[in-house]
Amino acid sequence: MSDGSSASIAHSAPRGPSPSALLQAGKLLAAVLAIAVLPLLFTDNYWQSTLIVCAINVLLALGLDLVLGYAGQLNLGQSAFYGLGAYISTLLITRLGVPYWGAFLLGMFGAGLAGVALSVFGVRLRGHYLAIASLGFAVITYQILLNWIGLTQGPLGIYAIPPPPPLALPGLPVIAFAHPANMFYLIAGFTLLAYLLLDAMLRSPIGEALTAVREDEISAASLGINCAAWKVFAFGIGAAFAGAAGCFYASFVGTLVPDAFFITESFTILAMVIVGGMGTLIGPVWGAILLTILPELLRGIGDLRLVLYGLALTLVVMLMPGGLVQAAQAILRRLGPRRAARSSP
Amino acid sequence: MIVAQQLLNGVVMGSLYVLVALGLTLVYGVLVQINFAHADIVTVGAFAAYFYMHVLGGSYLVAILVALLVGGALGWLINVAIFEPLRAKRSELLPLIATIGVSVMMQNGMLAWFGPVPYAFETQYSNEVLKFGGMFITWQNLLIITVSTIAIGLLYLFMRFTFLGKALRAVAQDRDTAGLMGINQSQVIMLTFVIASAFAGMGGAMLGPILVLTPFAGASVIVKAFAIVIIGGFGNMEGTILAGILVGLIESFTTQYLDPGWTDLVVFGLLLATLAFRPTGLIAESTEENV
């Protein structure tokens, strides 16, 4: 767990702020460009939908990474927060006629609140105990979604959930989110904002406090850090991210069934964070993209595709325990000295 | 009379849960790791027994033995391939994720091989009903109770009275000190995996006729096994046995008096209550000894 923080430390090296700031700006520009160009490159419905799922999964993985990689809490309940966000916002829209963005905020807030509640309860549990407690929370949430038929219509599902209302900016054509490319811009844009927000937060003293709690709770407490409060804080934010992802998911797919939020979803999100590299922010982004695209690319080989997916997951953990990003950094570092020698004056 | 009948049904389910949960608890006690593919060993055990009976035409009792051997072999393999290489990393997360990958592989491998349609796993004992005092029990259920009781009893005796069993408990208590006493950790861990997985395979052979036998059969049991292990206290063998029976009873009474859809809610509500009030488990007496 401790190795993960090296990436963020390297980024925020105190000396020479201008080159690193330039690098940051370049990376941000690349991300914006990628988001802008991708739906133009992949124009068919199928791949545009895959892009949207990618963006949703990145949001889910970022939320879990904050809890797992930065606050060091093994949370297997992310599927529950995801489902809560989806169902709360959808029920507010379809039953009470709440406007979309109001329901979105309430869904996000509701999921975050559930995260805070679970965390307040789980704050004294550690490691596998917290893992199983959060897994239990996910099972209970799933069962309630499945069995409270009067509210959620259980396995029958909720249909015809409207997409977000069209956005009419002055001087621009109306942006309709029924079109997948626009939906992708909306979700990917939100996810990018969330990333930047997390990045800023983790560079601030908040990030240092969280890392201190993760590395050694007793030392952190002796420095006056309220460990329990920080864990609850991270849990709440991480769950709110999942809640936002759930709101987007419901309005993108248009139907909701409890099975979309079964506990296996938690494991998928966990795998994204680990494969990418937990405790870095960019790791879960790549992990989520890879593990979303990989099963689609393997679709051609039929029945065995998920077998290969499982094999790939196992091999990444066995061979690159720090995740893809750390492995890539190690390779770059090995190439690094030669490059530095060449470019030094 | 309904109460007595449900009591009996609960004990049948409970004893199967114990077989599955004991494996999780044993591995956790010795290694402080979770083998997520444990569920799929249960499924493989069920299929092994099914094919031994329906393709090779063997008897059910031998099929249980076959499932036990297949399960043990799988446990050996998973330990050699995953846990042994990752042990030096001393991470509680990596083996969990790696075995999630193994679980995805096994489930989908079986799906590709056996297909999604449930198999009708019937034994010669399934339809023979024994009646006593107004209660009904199939020979199958009687067999389940007998075989699990013998297996659990033998394991208990093994842990208490044999040298290897004592070595296993010593490693569970303190791995490094046990090593200093000349106990070969790697061998003990291997033994634990083989026993745990053999129990899972055997449990699968007996769950097969009860569950809907598909490649995902084990997954439906394992979540409850996790709950049992926590309620009983992670790594606590007696606790796991009692909690397993308790969950079986909760399940049969919830089905009778409330609604079958509520069983998981009640079981996991109990799990969260346990964690809130007695995080070391319902029956935990000593925290030093873990197996």
What tens digit of pLDDT does each residue of A36-45 get?
A: 788 878 878 8
Chain B partners of A315 at a C-beta cutoff of 8 Å?
101
Tell me whether B269 touches chain A (CB under 8 Å).
yes
Copy the structure tokens of residue B248.
Answer: 């079986």
**Of B135 and A202, the one with more pLDDT:** A202
Which domain covers residue B207, as residue numbers?
20-218
**Minimum-distance CB partner of B234 among A128, A307, A310:** A128
Three-class secondary structure of residue B258 per DSSP: coil
Average pLDDT over residues B121-136: 80
A residues 247-266 near B, CB within 8 Å?
A: 263
Question: How many residues are given for chain A?
Answer: 345
Determine the pLDDT at residue B291. Answer: 44
* Exposure string over A17-31, b if 16+ CB within 10 A, otherwise e: eeeeeeeeeeeeeeb
| Residue pLDDT tens, chain A, 345 long | 444 444 444 444 445 557 777 888 888 888 888 887 888 788 788 888 889 999 999 999 999 999 988 888 888 889 999 999 999 999 998 888 888 898 999 999 999 999 999 888 877 776 677 888 888 888 889 888 888 888 888 888 888 788 888 877 777 777 778 788 888 888 999 999 999 999 989 888 888 888 888 888 888 888 888 888 888 999 999 999 999 999 999 989 888 998 889 888 888 898 889 888 888 889 999 999 988 888 888 877 777 878 888 888 899 888 888 888 888 888 888 876 655 444 444
Determine the pLDDT at residue B69. Answer: 96
On whether residue B14 sits in a domain, the answer given is no
Residue in B108, B142, B152 with CA at minimum distance from that of residue B240: B152
CA distance B211 to B119: 10
pLDDT interval class at B239 (50, 70, 90): confident
CA distance B115 to B214: 8
Three-class secondary structure of residue B51 per DSSP: helix
What tens digit of pLDDT does each residue of B194-230 get?
A: 999 999 999 999 988 888 888 888 887 888 888 888 8
Which amino acid is located at B212 in the chain? Answer: V
Residue in B236, B237, B239, B270 with CA at minimum distance from that of residue B253: B270
Tell me whether B278 touches chain A (CB under 8 Å).
no
From start to end of chain A, where are the E strands? none
Neighbours of B181 (CB within 10 A): 10
On whether residue B198 sits in a domain, the answer given is yes
A residues 8-47 near B, CB within 8 Å?
A: none
In angstroms, the separation between the Cα of residue B78 and the nearest Cα of chain A is 12
Mutate which of A76, A139, A290 to disrupt the B interface (most B C-beta within 10 Å)? Answer: A139
- The verdict on a CB contact (< 8 Å) between B104 and A310 is yes
Chain A partners of B34 at a C-beta cutoff of 8 Å?
128, 131
DSSP per residue, A294-345: HHHHGGGGGGGHHHHHHHHHHHHHHH-TT-HHHHHHHHHHHHHHHHHHHH--
- The verdict on a CB contact (< 8 Å) between B108 and A307 is yes
Determine the pLDDT at residue A219. Answer: 83
Q: Angle B2-31/B237-257 helices, nearest 10 degrees?
A: 150
On whether residue B274 sits in a domain, the answer given is no
Neighbours of B218 (CB within 10 A): 30
Determine the pLDDT at residue B41. Answer: 95
Residue in A311, A285, A306 with CA at minimum distance from that of residue A296: A306
Copy the structure tokens of residue A192.
Answer: 């990018």
**Minimum-distance CB partner of A303 among B28, B112, B271:** B112
Chain A partners of B234 at a C-beta cutoff of 8 Å?
128-129
On whether residue B125 sits in a domain, the answer given is yes
A residues 133-152 near B, CB within 8 Å?
A: 133, 135-137, 139-140, 143-144, 146-147
Task: Using CA coordinates, name the residue in chain A closest to B35.
Answer: A128
On whether residue B29 sits in a domain, the answer given is yes
On whether residue B230 sits in a domain, the answer given is no
Total domains, chain B: 1
What tens digit of pLDDT does each residue of B32-74 get?
A: 888 889 999 999 999 999 999 888 888 888 999 999 999 999 9
Cβ neighbors of B20 (< 8 A, separation 6 or more) are B38, B42, B199, B200, B203, B207, B221, B222, B225
Q: Answer whether A223's CB lies under 8 Å from A209's CB.
A: no
Residue in B53, B245, B44 with CA at minimum distance from that of residue B144: B245
CA distance B248 to A232: 34
Place of tokens 């846990």: B83
Mutate which of B34, B220, B272 to disrupt the A interface (most A C-beta within 10 Å)? Answer: B272
On whether residue B234 sits in a domain, the answer given is no
Three-class secondary structure of residue A55 per DSSP: helix
Instruction: Tell me chain A's radius of gyration from C-alpha atoms.
Output: 21
Vertex A222 angle, CA A322 and A236, to 5°: 55
Cα of first residue to Cα of last residue in chain B, in angstroms, is 37
- For the CA atoms of B135, B141, B142, B145, what is the dihedral angle to 10 degrees? -120
Element housing B130 (H / E): strand B129-132
In angstroms, the separation between the Cα of residue B185 and the nearest Cα of chain A is 21
Q: What pairing do the DSSP bridges indicate for beta strands B135-138 and B129-132?
A: antiparallel
Whether residue B260 has pLDDT greater than 60: yes
Would you say the C-alpha torsion A33, A35, A38, A44 has a positive or negative sign?
negative
Cβ neighbors of A121 (< 8 A, separation 6 or more) are A133, B272, B275, B276
Determine the pLDDT at residue A17. Answer: 55
Tell me whether B101 touches chain A (CB under 8 Å).
yes
**Minimum-distance CB partner of A270 among B32, B97, B103:** B97
Place of tokens 């850090």: A225
In angstroms, the separation between the Cα of residue A313 and the nearest Cα of chain B is 5
Average pLDDT over residues B131-135: 78
On whether residue B47 sits in a domain, the answer given is yes
Phi, psi of B137, deg, nearest 5: -145, 135
Neighbours of A222 (CB within 10 A): 9
Neighbours of A253 (CB within 10 A): 17
CA distance A222 to A220: 5
pTM of the model: 0.83
Determine the pLDDT at residue A7. Answer: 43
Would you say the C-alpha torsion A290, A295, A297, A298 has a positive or negative sign?
positive
